[in-house]
Amino acid sequence: MNVLVYVPYLYNTAPGQRFRLEQWAKLLEPKGVNFHFVPFESEILNQIWHKQDHHARKVTELLRSIFRRLDALKLARNGWDIAIVHRELLPIGPAILERFLSRKGIPMLYDFDDAIFLPDVSDANRRFRWLKCPKKTGTICRLSTHTIVGNEYLKAYALQYTDRVSVIPTTIDTDHYVPKAHVDIDGLAVIGWSGSLTTLKHLRWIEPALKALHRVKPFRLKVIGTERYRSEDLDVECKSWNAEREVTDLQSFDIGIMPLPDDPWAKGKCGLKALQYMAVGVPTVASPVGVNQEIIRDGHNGFLASTHTEWVEKLSHLLENQKLREEFSREGRRTVEQKYSAKIQAHRFLTLLEQILRETDNTKFCFAPPPAGVCCRQTVAVRLAVGDPAGGGVAEF
């Protein structure tokens, strides 16, 4: 089976892609399913998009990426059994390209794992907000052969436009994310948060609780994903995200936190931070928002905390009680293994792909074999397959 995957971001750089399609592709490739990832963004756009300023350069790189994406649609002509669209084909404008792709005669599978049908723009790109078109999500659902989403909240939205919807949660590679050796607190306790510059606002939301806790129980706050976080009255260590050391960084936490505001956007989240902490055996405290309430059974495999008072009380309880930390570490890992393992959900994903093929007359789109050398790691934008003089195309990663 040959699967063409249109994604917004470079390979191994964005959580939504990494813990859904990219993970599943690695597991399914030995079973004869070949995935060919085609990113929208370039290396340059990836580096500057979430930085302040650089507006002229952003526009230039955005236009170049749009032209590459237009050219990359030609790939859908040759020998692909299914085309997958993750989130959207273009980060701006209506679903014009998705409408075009749906008419190529190839089944189109749509995947999203955030409430992207709601307006949400990073602070660094407020001036480009008017270019976004979140309502196109419903249109893409309607155009697609099938839609997969990360939780029931997103499914309820998609069902307004199509009855062909499946929930496949965001998953963890349990062979790679292994439990830490012990949960003893050696020296100053480490409360950890992993995220990005765009989700830093969620951490800032519980700053008052963290400061109140720090006054009575000193700890170090370790922030993974951005080096820009600063907070008075807190002992903060910041590190940029790095794929090679990600597991080690997470294992360095004594407690992992996932604060979220109770708003429509947060309800669309798929609980990835909590799942990562739990997979490496880190006791976890999270807001009872959206899918977090399904992942965490309060007091059994983690804690749920709503108010600042609850955050202080439950974090204090974990800092003081090693036996409870051991229980949360063990039960959290078990939860991930039983329900959110990439191995389990990759099999469900394969079953869905096979079902789509059975229900479709594939003879009408298998014109030729896919390009030589295609594999699930083909993602870096260089000047090969598409031939854009500015550096577009797809090559092996």
pLDDT value of residue 196: 86
Candidates 179, 143, 116, 203; CA nearest to 328 is: 179
pLDDT value of residue 65: 86
What is the rounded average pLDDT of the residues 12-16? 88
Q: What is the pLDDT of residues 336-385, one digit of tens each?
A: 999 999 999 999 999 999 999 998 864 444 433 444 444 444 433 322 23
What single string gives the DSSP state of each residue in 242-254? Answer: -TTTHHHHHHT-S
pLDDT value of residue 14: 87
Confidence of residue 123 (pLDDT cuts 50, 70, 90): low
What is the distance in angstroms between the CA of the first residue and the CA of the last residue of the chain?
Answer: 20
Q: Do 302 and 284 meet the contact criterion of CB atoms below 8 Å apart?
A: yes
- Residues above pLDDT 70, as percent of the chain: 85
Whether 390 shows a pLDDT value over 60: the answer reads no
Report how far residue 235's alpha carbon sits from residue 334's, in angstroms, rounded to the nearest whole number: 32
pLDDT value of residue 119: 82
Confidence of residue 121 (pLDDT cuts 50, 70, 90): low
What is the rounded average pLDDT of the residues 199-212? 94
Candidates 318, 196, 203; CA nearest to 258 is: 203
pLDDT value of residue 50: 64
Average pLDDT, the chain: 86
What is the rounded average pLDDT of the residues 58-64? 86
Report how far residue 332's alpha carbon sits from residue 301's, in angstroms, rounded to the nearest whole number: 5
Candidates 248, 251, 320, 260; CA nearest to 285 is: 260
- The helix (H) or strand (E) run that includes residue 66 is helix 55-72
Q: How far is CA 263 from CA 112, 150, 198, 290, in A?
A: 18, 17, 16, 9
What is the rounded average pLDDT of the residues 202-208? 94
Task: Identify which of 12-21, 113-122, 153-162 has the greatest average pLDDT.
Answer: 153-162
Confidence of residue 329 (pLDDT cuts 50, 70, 90): very high
Taking the model in full, what pTM does it have? 0.84
Return the amino acid letter for 347: H
Q: All domains of the chain, ordered by start, with CATH?
A: 2-171+341-396 (3.40.50.2000), 189-339 (3.40.50.2000)
